[in-house]
Structure 1
Amino acid sequence: MSMIRDIINKKRPLNFHLIYGSRSTDDIIFRQQLKTLAKQHDFLTVDEVISEPDADYTGHTGYLSAEMIQRLTGDVDGKMFYLCGPNAMYDFCKPELEKLGVPGRRVRIEANGPPPAPQKLTGWPQGLETSKEVTVTVRGRGQFKMPVGEPLLNAMERNGYQAENACRSGECSLCRVKVLSGDVFNPPQSHLRSSDRTFGWTHACVAFALSDIEILI
Protein backbone atom coordinates (compact mmCIF):
# COMPACT_ATOMS: atom_id res chain seq x y z
CA MET A 1 0.00 0.00 0.00
CA SER A 2 2.86 2.38 0.75
CA MET A 3 4.35 1.69 -2.71
CA ILE A 4 1.02 2.49 -4.38
CA ARG A 5 0.67 5.72 -2.41
CA ASP A 6 4.25 6.69 -3.26
CA ILE A 7 3.56 6.24 -6.99
CA ILE A 8 0.44 8.39 -6.66
CA ASN A 9 2.00 11.13 -4.52
CA LYS A 10 5.18 11.45 -6.60
CA LYS A 11 3.50 10.82 -9.95
CA ARG A 12 6.01 8.13 -10.83
CA PRO A 13 5.74 6.79 -14.42
CA LEU A 14 5.15 3.19 -13.33
CA ASN A 15 2.53 0.48 -13.73
CA PHE A 16 1.69 -1.51 -10.61
CA HIS A 17 -0.14 -4.84 -10.62
CA LEU A 18 -1.13 -6.18 -7.19
CA ILE A 19 -2.00 -9.89 -7.11
CA TYR A 20 -3.43 -10.37 -3.63
CA GLY A 21 -3.63 -14.00 -2.51
CA SER A 22 -5.74 -14.71 0.57
CA ARG A 23 -7.59 -17.55 2.20
CA SER A 24 -10.88 -15.61 2.23
CA THR A 25 -12.07 -12.14 1.27
CA ASP A 26 -12.24 -11.28 4.99
CA ASP A 27 -8.43 -11.58 5.09
CA ILE A 28 -7.85 -8.86 2.47
CA ILE A 29 -6.42 -5.77 4.13
CA PHE A 30 -7.38 -2.44 2.50
CA ARG A 31 -9.82 -4.28 0.22
CA GLN A 32 -12.22 -1.38 -0.36
CA GLN A 33 -9.45 1.22 -0.54
CA LEU A 34 -7.63 -0.84 -3.16
CA LYS A 35 -10.77 -1.18 -5.27
CA THR A 36 -11.32 2.56 -5.10
CA LEU A 37 -7.72 3.39 -6.00
CA ALA A 38 -7.77 0.96 -8.93
CA LYS A 39 -10.85 2.75 -10.32
CA GLN A 40 -9.24 6.17 -9.86
CA HIS A 41 -5.80 5.41 -11.33
CA ASP A 42 -4.98 3.76 -14.66
CA PHE A 43 -1.51 2.64 -13.53
CA LEU A 44 -2.97 0.32 -10.88
CA THR A 45 -4.42 -3.16 -11.42
CA VAL A 46 -5.66 -5.21 -8.45
CA ASP A 47 -6.48 -8.92 -8.70
CA GLU A 48 -7.72 -10.98 -5.76
CA VAL A 49 -6.99 -14.72 -5.65
CA ILE A 50 -8.93 -16.59 -2.96
CA SER A 51 -8.01 -20.14 -1.95
CA GLU A 52 -11.13 -20.87 0.16
CA PRO A 53 -13.88 -18.74 -1.44
CA ASP A 54 -17.42 -18.31 -0.18
CA ALA A 55 -20.23 -19.69 -2.32
CA ASP A 56 -21.05 -16.23 -3.71
CA TYR A 57 -17.45 -15.28 -4.64
CA THR A 58 -16.97 -14.92 -8.42
CA GLY A 59 -13.34 -13.82 -8.73
CA HIS A 60 -10.09 -15.72 -9.17
CA THR A 61 -9.66 -18.80 -6.98
CA GLY A 62 -6.76 -21.07 -6.12
CA TYR A 63 -3.13 -20.32 -5.31
CA LEU A 64 -0.45 -18.00 -6.68
CA SER A 65 0.93 -20.68 -8.97
CA ALA A 66 3.01 -20.08 -12.10
CA GLU A 67 -0.11 -20.65 -14.18
CA MET A 68 -2.13 -18.14 -12.18
CA ILE A 69 0.64 -15.52 -12.21
CA GLN A 70 1.09 -15.79 -15.98
CA ARG A 71 -2.66 -15.75 -16.59
CA LEU A 72 -2.94 -12.45 -14.70
CA THR A 73 0.31 -10.73 -15.72
CA GLY A 74 0.84 -12.04 -19.24
CA ASP A 75 4.45 -11.78 -20.44
CA VAL A 76 6.77 -11.65 -17.40
CA ASP A 77 9.83 -10.38 -19.32
CA GLY A 78 11.22 -7.13 -17.97
CA LYS A 79 8.89 -7.02 -14.95
CA MET A 80 9.94 -6.76 -11.31
CA PHE A 81 8.20 -9.00 -8.77
CA TYR A 82 7.84 -8.08 -5.10
CA LEU A 83 6.80 -10.81 -2.66
CA CYS A 84 5.19 -9.70 0.59
CA GLY A 85 3.71 -12.07 3.17
CA PRO A 86 4.62 -14.98 5.46
CA ASN A 87 7.71 -17.10 4.85
CA ALA A 88 5.57 -20.06 3.73
CA MET A 89 4.25 -17.91 0.89
CA TYR A 90 7.79 -17.04 -0.22
CA ASP A 91 8.72 -20.72 -0.20
CA PHE A 92 5.78 -21.42 -2.52
CA CYS A 93 5.86 -18.39 -4.83
CA LYS A 94 9.58 -18.06 -5.53
CA PRO A 95 9.82 -21.51 -7.24
CA GLU A 96 6.65 -20.66 -9.20
CA LEU A 97 8.34 -17.52 -10.54
CA GLU A 98 11.41 -19.58 -11.41
CA LYS A 99 9.18 -21.89 -13.47
CA LEU A 100 8.21 -18.83 -15.50
CA GLY A 101 11.87 -17.97 -16.08
CA VAL A 102 11.88 -14.86 -13.87
CA PRO A 103 15.56 -14.28 -12.94
CA GLY A 104 16.45 -13.85 -9.27
CA ARG A 105 17.57 -10.26 -9.85
CA ARG A 106 13.96 -9.38 -10.71
CA VAL A 107 12.48 -10.80 -7.50
CA ARG A 108 12.43 -8.80 -4.27
CA ILE A 109 11.28 -10.36 -1.00
CA GLU A 110 10.04 -8.44 2.03
CA ALA A 111 12.43 -8.65 4.98
CA ASN A 112 10.84 -10.80 7.67
CA GLY A 113 13.73 -11.79 9.91
CA PRO A 114 15.88 -14.94 9.99
CA PRO A 115 14.38 -18.33 9.12
CA PRO A 116 12.62 -19.76 12.20
CA ALA A 117 13.61 -23.37 11.41
CA PRO A 118 16.96 -23.40 9.55
CA GLN A 119 17.24 -27.19 9.91
CA LYS A 120 14.35 -27.57 7.47
CA LEU A 121 16.11 -25.67 4.69
CA THR A 122 18.06 -27.17 1.81
CA GLY A 123 21.73 -27.40 2.66
CA TRP A 124 21.40 -27.90 6.41
CA PRO A 125 23.59 -30.87 7.46
CA GLN A 126 21.48 -33.98 7.90
CA GLY A 127 21.08 -35.01 11.52
CA LEU A 128 22.55 -31.83 13.01
CA GLU A 129 20.42 -30.81 15.99
CA THR A 130 19.82 -27.08 16.44
CA SER A 131 20.56 -27.41 20.17
CA LYS A 132 24.18 -28.46 19.59
CA GLU A 133 26.60 -25.90 21.08
CA VAL A 134 29.62 -24.52 19.26
CA THR A 135 32.27 -21.96 20.20
CA VAL A 136 32.58 -18.65 18.40
CA THR A 137 35.94 -16.91 18.68
CA VAL A 138 36.00 -13.20 17.88
CA ARG A 139 39.59 -12.56 16.81
CA GLY A 140 41.39 -10.43 19.37
CA ARG A 141 38.29 -9.95 21.52
CA GLY A 142 37.28 -13.22 23.16
CA GLN A 143 34.86 -16.08 22.58
CA PHE A 144 31.41 -17.38 23.49
CA LYS A 145 29.22 -20.44 23.07
CA MET A 146 25.98 -20.61 21.10
CA PRO A 147 23.52 -23.23 19.80
CA VAL A 148 23.81 -23.84 16.07
CA GLY A 149 20.10 -23.02 15.61
CA GLU A 150 20.55 -19.40 16.75
CA PRO A 151 21.36 -16.65 14.23
CA LEU A 152 24.97 -15.55 14.64
CA LEU A 153 24.07 -11.86 15.08
CA ASN A 154 21.64 -12.68 17.90
CA ALA A 155 24.30 -14.70 19.70
CA MET A 156 26.89 -11.96 19.19
CA GLU A 157 24.60 -9.32 20.69
CA ARG A 158 23.61 -11.61 23.56
CA ASN A 159 27.29 -11.89 24.44
CA GLY A 160 28.13 -8.19 24.14
CA TYR A 161 29.48 -8.04 20.57
CA GLN A 162 27.96 -5.46 18.25
CA ALA A 163 27.76 -5.29 14.45
CA GLU A 164 26.05 -2.62 12.40
CA ASN A 165 22.69 -3.89 11.15
CA ALA A 166 19.37 -2.78 9.69
CA CYS A 167 17.10 -5.33 7.99
CA ARG A 168 18.10 -8.40 10.07
CA SER A 169 16.86 -10.54 7.17
CA GLY A 170 19.92 -11.04 4.97
CA GLU A 171 19.06 -8.25 2.54
CA CYS A 172 21.12 -5.15 3.33
CA SER A 173 24.56 -6.68 4.16
CA LEU A 174 25.35 -4.13 6.91
CA CYS A 175 25.98 -6.91 9.44
CA ARG A 176 28.63 -8.70 7.38
CA VAL A 177 31.36 -10.42 9.37
CA LYS A 178 34.37 -12.32 8.00
CA VAL A 179 34.52 -16.05 8.77
CA LEU A 180 38.19 -16.91 9.26
CA SER A 181 37.68 -20.60 10.03
CA GLY A 182 34.88 -23.10 10.56
CA ASP A 183 31.59 -23.79 8.80
CA VAL A 184 28.61 -21.44 8.54
CA PHE A 185 25.19 -22.14 7.02
CA ASN A 186 23.89 -19.34 4.79
CA PRO A 187 20.17 -19.81 4.02
CA PRO A 188 18.76 -18.99 0.57
CA GLN A 189 17.51 -15.59 1.79
CA SER A 190 21.08 -14.52 2.59
CA HIS A 191 21.83 -12.37 -0.44
CA LEU A 192 25.57 -12.84 -0.48
CA ARG A 193 27.61 -11.33 -3.28
CA SER A 194 29.92 -13.66 -5.18
CA SER A 195 32.83 -11.73 -3.65
CA ASP A 196 31.41 -12.40 -0.16
CA ARG A 197 31.48 -16.14 -0.81
CA THR A 198 34.96 -15.94 -2.33
CA PHE A 199 36.50 -14.06 0.60
CA GLY A 200 34.54 -15.62 3.45
CA TRP A 201 32.06 -12.92 4.42
CA THR A 202 28.63 -13.80 5.80
CA HIS A 203 25.49 -11.87 6.79
CA ALA A 204 25.48 -12.48 10.54
CA CYS A 205 21.75 -11.80 10.95
CA VAL A 206 20.79 -14.96 9.03
CA ALA A 207 24.01 -17.00 9.37
CA PHE A 208 24.18 -20.13 11.55
CA ALA A 209 27.48 -21.50 12.88
CA LEU A 210 27.64 -25.24 12.15
CA SER A 211 30.95 -25.82 13.94
CA ASP A 212 33.44 -23.92 16.08
CA ILE A 213 34.22 -20.79 14.09
CA GLU A 214 36.51 -17.77 14.24
CA ILE A 215 35.21 -14.46 12.97
CA LEU A 216 36.45 -10.94 12.42
CA ILE A 217 34.01 -8.13 13.24
Structure 2
Amino acid sequence: MTLPAGSGGSGGSEGSGWERSRDAFTGAARWFARTAAQVGDRWGAPGLGEWDVRALVGHTSRSLLTVEAYLQRPAAAVDVGSAAGYFLATREVAAGPGVAQRGREAGAALGDDPAAAVARTAERVLALVGARGGAELLTTVAGGMRLADYLPTRTFELTVHTADLCAALGVPARVPAAAALQSLHLVAELAVADDRAAPLLLTATGRGAPPAGFSVL
Protein backbone atom coordinates (compact mmCIF):
# COMPACT_ATOMS: atom_id res chain seq x y z
CA MET A 1 0.00 0.00 0.00
CA THR A 2 1.34 3.43 -0.91
CA LEU A 3 1.30 5.88 1.96
CA PRO A 4 0.96 9.64 1.43
CA ALA A 5 3.85 11.92 2.18
CA GLY A 6 3.69 13.43 5.63
CA SER A 7 1.66 10.58 7.17
CA GLY A 8 2.61 9.02 10.47
CA GLY A 9 1.18 11.78 12.61
CA SER A 10 3.75 14.43 11.84
CA GLY A 11 1.24 16.81 10.33
CA GLY A 12 3.84 18.22 7.94
CA SER A 13 6.62 20.62 8.66
CA GLU A 14 4.76 23.83 9.41
CA GLY A 15 2.50 25.24 12.09
CA SER A 16 0.76 23.24 14.76
CA GLY A 17 1.45 19.86 13.12
CA TRP A 18 5.20 20.21 13.59
CA GLU A 19 4.70 21.63 17.07
CA ARG A 20 2.58 18.62 18.05
CA SER A 21 5.18 16.24 16.65
CA ARG A 22 7.98 18.04 18.47
CA ASP A 23 5.97 18.03 21.70
CA ALA A 24 5.34 14.28 21.36
CA PHE A 25 9.06 13.64 20.90
CA THR A 26 9.90 15.88 23.85
CA GLY A 27 7.45 14.05 26.10
CA ALA A 28 8.75 10.64 25.04
CA ALA A 29 12.41 11.63 25.47
CA ARG A 30 11.89 13.05 28.94
CA TRP A 31 9.77 10.06 30.01
CA PHE A 32 12.60 7.80 28.89
CA ALA A 33 15.13 9.83 30.89
CA ARG A 34 12.92 9.81 33.99
CA THR A 35 12.46 6.06 33.73
CA ALA A 36 16.18 5.42 33.22
CA ALA A 37 16.77 7.38 36.42
CA GLN A 38 14.75 4.73 38.29
CA VAL A 39 17.01 1.83 37.32
CA GLY A 40 19.29 2.19 40.34
CA ASP A 41 21.56 -0.84 40.54
CA ARG A 42 19.50 -3.02 38.17
CA TRP A 43 21.47 -2.43 34.97
CA GLY A 44 22.31 -6.13 34.71
CA ALA A 45 18.75 -7.31 35.32
CA PRO A 46 16.70 -8.85 32.46
CA GLY A 47 15.48 -6.18 30.08
CA LEU A 48 13.91 -7.37 26.83
CA GLY A 49 14.66 -10.65 25.08
CA GLU A 50 18.41 -11.19 25.12
CA TRP A 51 19.07 -7.66 26.38
CA ASP A 52 19.71 -6.76 29.98
CA VAL A 53 18.42 -3.42 31.23
CA ARG A 54 21.61 -1.60 30.21
CA ALA A 55 21.36 -2.90 26.63
CA LEU A 56 17.64 -2.03 26.47
CA VAL A 57 18.40 1.50 27.62
CA GLY A 58 21.31 1.68 25.20
CA HIS A 59 19.12 0.60 22.30
CA THR A 60 16.45 3.12 23.29
CA SER A 61 19.03 5.89 23.53
CA ARG A 62 19.80 5.33 19.85
CA SER A 63 16.40 6.85 19.08
CA LEU A 64 17.90 10.11 20.33
CA LEU A 65 21.36 9.66 18.90
CA THR A 66 20.20 8.91 15.36
CA VAL A 67 18.33 12.22 15.23
CA GLU A 68 21.54 13.99 16.17
CA ALA A 69 23.62 12.00 13.69
CA TYR A 70 21.21 12.25 10.78
CA LEU A 71 20.84 16.00 11.15
CA GLN A 72 24.54 16.16 10.32
CA ARG A 73 23.91 14.21 7.08
CA PRO A 74 21.69 16.36 4.83
CA ALA A 75 19.83 14.58 2.05
CA ALA A 76 19.39 15.84 -1.49
CA ALA A 77 15.89 14.44 -1.97
CA VAL A 78 13.03 12.67 -0.21
CA ASP A 79 13.14 8.90 -0.64
CA VAL A 80 10.67 8.02 2.12
CA GLY A 81 7.75 10.37 2.64
CA SER A 82 6.20 9.15 5.89
CA ALA A 83 6.91 7.63 9.27
CA ALA A 84 4.96 4.50 8.38
CA GLY A 85 6.89 4.26 5.13
CA TYR A 86 10.12 4.29 7.13
CA PHE A 87 9.11 1.22 9.14
CA LEU A 88 7.93 -0.58 6.02
CA ALA A 89 11.25 0.16 4.32
CA THR A 90 13.43 -0.93 7.25
CA ARG A 91 11.77 -4.20 8.27
CA GLU A 92 14.62 -6.35 7.03
CA VAL A 93 17.23 -4.24 8.81
CA ALA A 94 15.19 -4.19 12.03
CA ALA A 95 14.92 -7.98 12.01
CA GLY A 96 18.65 -8.49 11.42
CA PRO A 97 21.08 -9.91 13.97
CA GLY A 98 23.01 -6.66 14.22
CA VAL A 99 20.27 -4.90 16.19
CA ALA A 100 20.90 -6.86 19.38
CA GLN A 101 24.64 -6.23 19.24
CA ARG A 102 24.19 -2.52 18.56
CA GLY A 103 21.97 -2.35 21.61
CA ARG A 104 24.64 -3.95 23.78
CA GLU A 105 27.30 -1.63 22.37
CA ALA A 106 25.10 1.42 22.95
CA GLY A 107 24.50 0.27 26.52
CA ALA A 108 28.23 -0.08 27.15
CA ALA A 109 28.81 3.39 25.67
CA LEU A 110 26.60 4.92 28.38
CA GLY A 111 29.53 4.55 30.76
CA ASP A 112 29.62 4.44 34.55
CA ASP A 113 26.49 6.55 35.05
CA PRO A 114 24.04 5.47 32.35
CA ALA A 115 21.09 7.43 33.72
CA ALA A 116 23.05 10.68 33.68
CA ALA A 117 24.27 9.93 30.14
CA VAL A 118 20.69 9.40 28.99
CA ALA A 119 19.56 12.66 30.60
CA ARG A 120 22.37 14.63 28.96
CA THR A 121 21.69 13.09 25.56
CA ALA A 122 17.97 13.76 25.78
CA GLU A 123 18.39 17.43 26.59
CA ARG A 124 21.07 17.91 23.94
CA VAL A 125 18.94 16.34 21.21
CA LEU A 126 15.79 18.16 22.34
CA ALA A 127 17.66 21.43 21.97
CA LEU A 128 18.67 20.46 18.42
CA VAL A 129 15.11 19.54 17.47
CA GLY A 130 13.70 22.65 19.12
CA ALA A 131 15.83 24.80 16.83
CA ARG A 132 14.52 23.12 13.65
CA GLY A 133 11.39 23.75 11.60
CA GLY A 134 10.71 20.18 10.45
CA ALA A 135 11.37 20.68 6.74
CA GLU A 136 15.06 19.76 7.01
CA LEU A 137 16.16 16.87 4.80
CA LEU A 138 18.27 14.24 6.50
CA THR A 139 19.79 10.94 5.42
CA THR A 140 18.37 7.97 7.34
CA VAL A 141 19.03 4.27 6.99
CA ALA A 142 15.99 4.19 4.70
CA GLY A 143 17.14 7.13 2.58
CA GLY A 144 16.31 10.82 2.51
CA MET A 145 13.49 11.99 4.77
CA ARG A 146 12.13 15.24 6.12
CA LEU A 147 12.75 15.68 9.82
CA ALA A 148 8.99 16.09 10.32
CA ASP A 149 8.43 12.61 8.88
CA TYR A 150 11.38 10.94 10.62
CA LEU A 151 10.81 12.32 14.12
CA PRO A 152 7.58 10.35 14.77
CA THR A 153 9.53 7.12 14.20
CA ARG A 154 11.83 8.11 17.07
CA THR A 155 8.87 9.06 19.26
CA PHE A 156 7.40 5.63 18.59
CA GLU A 157 10.64 3.83 19.45
CA LEU A 158 11.15 5.87 22.61
CA THR A 159 7.56 5.27 23.70
CA VAL A 160 7.48 1.52 23.07
CA HIS A 161 10.89 0.83 24.57
CA THR A 162 10.31 3.01 27.62
CA ALA A 163 7.17 0.94 28.19
CA ASP A 164 9.44 -2.13 27.88
CA LEU A 165 11.77 -0.60 30.44
CA CYS A 166 8.89 0.08 32.83
CA ALA A 167 7.87 -3.57 32.53
CA ALA A 168 11.43 -4.71 33.23
CA LEU A 169 11.62 -2.47 36.32
CA GLY A 170 8.12 -3.27 37.54
CA VAL A 171 7.01 0.38 37.55
CA PRO A 172 3.81 1.86 36.06
CA ALA A 173 4.06 2.85 32.40
CA ARG A 174 2.44 6.29 32.31
CA VAL A 175 2.92 7.24 28.68
CA PRO A 176 2.80 10.99 27.98
CA ALA A 177 -0.42 11.74 26.12
CA ALA A 178 1.10 13.36 23.02
CA ALA A 179 3.61 10.54 22.57
CA ALA A 180 0.90 7.93 23.08
CA LEU A 181 -1.40 9.53 20.51
CA GLN A 182 1.30 9.80 17.86
CA SER A 183 2.53 6.25 18.48
CA LEU A 184 -0.95 4.77 18.33
CA HIS A 185 -1.63 6.71 15.13
CA LEU A 186 1.45 5.13 13.61
CA VAL A 187 0.39 1.65 14.78
CA ALA A 188 -2.94 2.18 13.02
CA GLU A 189 -1.26 3.30 9.79
CA LEU A 190 1.01 0.27 9.76
CA ALA A 191 -1.91 -2.07 10.43
CA VAL A 192 -3.86 -0.59 7.54
CA ALA A 193 -0.84 -0.74 5.22
CA ASP A 194 -0.53 -4.50 5.80
CA ASP A 195 -4.28 -5.25 5.90
CA ARG A 196 -4.03 -6.09 9.61
CA ALA A 197 -6.63 -3.62 10.83
CA ALA A 198 -9.20 -6.29 11.72
CA PRO A 199 -7.08 -8.25 14.24
CA LEU A 200 -5.85 -5.00 15.76
CA LEU A 201 -9.40 -3.69 16.17
CA LEU A 202 -10.71 -6.97 17.54
CA THR A 203 -7.87 -7.22 20.07
CA ALA A 204 -8.18 -3.58 21.14
CA THR A 205 -11.91 -3.96 21.76
CA GLY A 206 -11.66 -7.14 23.84
CA ARG A 207 -12.79 -9.58 21.19
CA GLY A 208 -10.18 -12.23 21.76
CA ALA A 209 -6.41 -12.55 21.70
CA PRO A 210 -4.38 -11.48 18.66
CA PRO A 211 -3.09 -14.15 16.27
CA ALA A 212 0.16 -15.83 17.29
CA GLY A 213 3.10 -13.56 16.55
CA PHE A 214 0.86 -10.62 15.61
CA SER A 215 2.72 -7.34 15.14
CA VAL A 216 2.39 -4.30 12.92
CA LEU A 217 6.19 -4.04 12.59
Higher relative contact order (CA 8 A, sep 6+): 2
Structure ID, larger Rg: 1
Higher strand share: 1
TM-score normalized by the length of structure 2: 0.24
TM-score normalized by the length of structure 1: 0.24
